[in-house]
C-alpha cells in the first residue's frame, strides 16, 4: 500500500479554497477535481496541480448521448489528466465513443491519455433506493458488477465502485481493470451521505487500487492529523 493510492477530492467552492487545501496537505500526491470546483472555477486548478507535479483525477461524471460525451471526453483529455469519469448508465455506445474520443483528445493535445473509468452505482445509493426509487430489479452487487462488465467490454480502463462491491469486481474483472473506491470511512469518521462504506484498510484488502477519501480528511479539525491516521491504518495492510 502506498500513500499514492489515496486520492483526496478538492470539494470546495472556489479556486482560492482549493489552493489553500493543496498547500495545507503537501503530502497528498493525487487530487480529485470534481463538479463543484470545476463548475465554479473551470480548469485553472488543473494547471496549479500540474505545476506542483500532482496527479489529477478529473471527476466530471459525464452522462449524455454518445456524440456529446465524446466531445466532452475529447476536451477533458486534452488537459492531460490521469483519471476521467463517465457514468456506465450512459450505455455501451456512449462508453465506446468516450473511450475513442479521450484517446483522440489526448493525442491531439500531445498529452498522455487519461484512464477512463465508469461509475457503476453512486456510493450514496442504498439497496433500498436502487429497488424502490430507481426501480432496478437486480440485487445491488449484481447491478454494480453488470455496469463494470459493460464498461470493461466497451474498452474502459476501470470502474468506480463502493468498497462493498470491490472484492467481487476484482475477482470478475481481473487485475488490469482499475478499481477506484469512494465511500471510504475510517471507523472514527462520520458516514455523511455515503451508504455503502468500509474502512480504508478493508477497502484495500478487498482489492481497491485507489481510495477516494474526502471529508474525513478535509473536514477534520486537523486535516494533516486525519491524513496521518489513515496512512498509519493503511500501513498495517500488506
Ligand X SMILES: O=C(O)c1cc(=O)[nH]c(=O)n1[C@@H]1O[C@H](COP(=O)(O)O)[C@@H](O)[C@H]1O
* Nearest distance in Å: CB 108, ligand X: 26
3-state secondary structure of 85: strand
- Please report, for residues 8, 201, 216, the alpha-carbon distance to residue 226 in angstroms, rounded to integers and kept in the order given: 12, 15, 7
Is 194 among the residues that bind ligand X (CB under 6 A)?
yes
Q: Which of 30, 41, 66, 85 binds ligand X (CB under 6 A)?
A: 85
Stretch in the footprint of ligand X (CB under 6 A) among 164-172, 201-209, 210-218, 222-230: 210-218
| Contacting residues for 14 by C-beta, under 8 A, at least 6 apart | 37, 40, 41
In sequence order, the 6+-apart residues with CB closer than 8 A to the CB of 176 are none
As a whole number of angstroms, the distance between CA 182 and CA 214 comes to 9
Minimum CB separation of residue 184 from ligand X in Å reads: 7
Residue nearest to ligand X (CB): 214
User: What three-state secondary structure class fits 219?
Assistant: coil
Which of 50, 61, 92, 96 is flagged as catalytic?
61
Q: Which residue has the cell 436502487?
A: 130
Strands 6-9 and 55-62, how do they pair? Answer: unpaired
Residues in the chain: 238
Does residue 186 touch ligand X according to CB under 6 A? no
CA distance 60 to 64: 12
> Scanning residues 129 to 158, which ones bind ligand X (CB under 6 A)?
none
The piece of 75-83, 93-101, 116-124, 126-134 that touches ligand X (CB under 6 A) is 116-124
61 is catalytic: yes
Nearer CB in complex with ligand X: 18/213: 213
Residue 26 is labelled as binding a ligand:
no
CA separation, residue 236 to residues 25, 75, 202, 217, 231 (Å): 22, 40, 11, 19, 9
The response to whether 67 counts as a known ligand-binding position is yes
We find the least distance from the C-beta atom of residue 9 to ligand X, in angstroms, to be 4
Which of 160, 203, 226, 234 touches ligand X by CB under 6 A?
A: 160
Residue 70 to residues 64, 130, 210: CA-CA distances in angstroms?
9, 28, 25
Q: Which stretch binds ligand X (CB under 6 A): 15-23, 44-52, 117-125, 169-177?
A: 117-125
Which residues carry out catalysis?
61
Summarize as ranges the residues that interact with ligand X (CB under 6 A): 9, 11, 32, 34, 59, 85, 119, 122-123, 160, 182-183, 192, 194, 212-215
Amino acid at each position: 500500500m502506498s500513500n499514492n493510492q489515496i486520492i483526496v477530492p478538492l470539494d470546495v467552492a472556489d479556486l482560492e479554497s482549493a489552493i489553500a487545501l493543496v498547500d495545507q496537505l503537501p503530502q497528498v500526491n493525487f487530487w480529485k477535481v470534481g463538479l463543484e470546483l470545476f463548475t465554479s472555477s473551470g480548469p485553472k486548478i488543473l494547471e496549479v496541480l500540474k505545476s506542483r507535479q500532482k496527479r489529477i483525477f478529473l471527476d466530471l461524471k459525464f452522462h449524455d448521448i454518445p456524440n456529446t460525451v465524446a466531445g466532452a471526453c475529447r476536451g477533458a483529455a486534452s488537459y492531460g489528466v490521469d483519471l476521467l469519469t463517465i457514468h456506465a448508465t450512459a450505455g455501451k455506445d456512449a462508453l465506446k465513443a468516450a473511450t475513442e474520443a479521450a484517446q483522440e483528445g489526448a493525442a491531439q493535445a500531445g498529452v498522455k491519455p487519461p484512464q477512463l473509468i465508469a461509475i457503476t452505482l453512486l456510493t450514496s445509493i442504498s439497496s433500498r433506493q436502487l429497488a424502490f426509487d430507481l426501480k432496478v430489479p437486480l440485487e445491488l452487487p449484481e447491478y454494480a458488477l453488470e455496469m463494470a462488465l459493460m464498461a470493461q467490454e466497451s474498452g474502459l480502463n476501470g470502474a468506480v465502485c463502493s468498497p462493498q462491491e470491490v472484492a467481487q469486481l476484482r475477482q470478475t474483472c481481473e487485475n488490469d481493470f482499475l478499481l477506484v473506491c469512494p465511500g471510504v470511512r475510517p471507523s472514527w469518521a462520520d458516514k455523511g451521505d455515503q451508504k455503502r462504506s468500509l474502512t480504508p484498510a478493508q477497502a484495500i484488502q478487498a482489492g481497491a487500487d485507489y481510495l477516494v477519501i474526502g471529508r474525513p480528511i478535509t473536514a477534520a479539525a486537523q486535516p494533516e492529523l486525519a491524513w496521518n491516521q489513515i496512512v498509519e491504518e493503511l500501513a498495517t495492510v500488506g
